[in-house]
Amino acid sequence: MLYSYGPQLIALLTSIFAITLGTRLALRKERRQLLWSKEFERLFALEELAGKLVEELGSYSMVNQPNVGAWLEEFRQTPGRFARYPAIRQSTRDLQNTIDRMFVAKRDYLDEQQELRSELELKLNHLLSACDDVTRRKRLT
């Protein structure tokens, strides 16, 4: 009599094992996707903030100091948030240095603004490339 239930018992145990394993794998995949989703959001926010700063400071108009001041303060905290990605952290520091120099040049009406504008674009492109390397995105430009 025990032998008659043997194949059914094996099928039941196999089904339970398969369901448990499938659930665990699905949960891990979902957790990984959620983490990557958050990383993408952080990277896109960094790209957006860097782009706003470069546009504002690279323009030929007067600096909107209240907006730029808040953006600069937020941008200064950014390298520490990306310690996991050394290329992004270094590119952010480089861009931050150039942004600070451009801010001073515009505020004090210094003559080096033109060369700093081209340096801003170069540093922004380095940052975008570092972000693209992490996200494995192809550059649109």
User: What is the mean pLDDT of the segment spanning 21-29?
Assistant: 86
State the CB neighbour count (10 A cutoff) for residue 112: 12
Q: Which residues of 19-41 are buried (b: 16+ CB within 10 A; e: fewer)?
A: eeeeeeeeeeeeeeeeeeeeeee
Does this model's pTM top 0.85? Answer: no
Quick check: helix, strand or coil at residue 77? Answer: coil
Model confidence band, residue 86 (pLDDT cutoffs 50, 70, 90): very high
pLDDT for residue 49: 95
- Name the residue among 107, 131, 105, 102 with its Cα closest to residue 119: 102
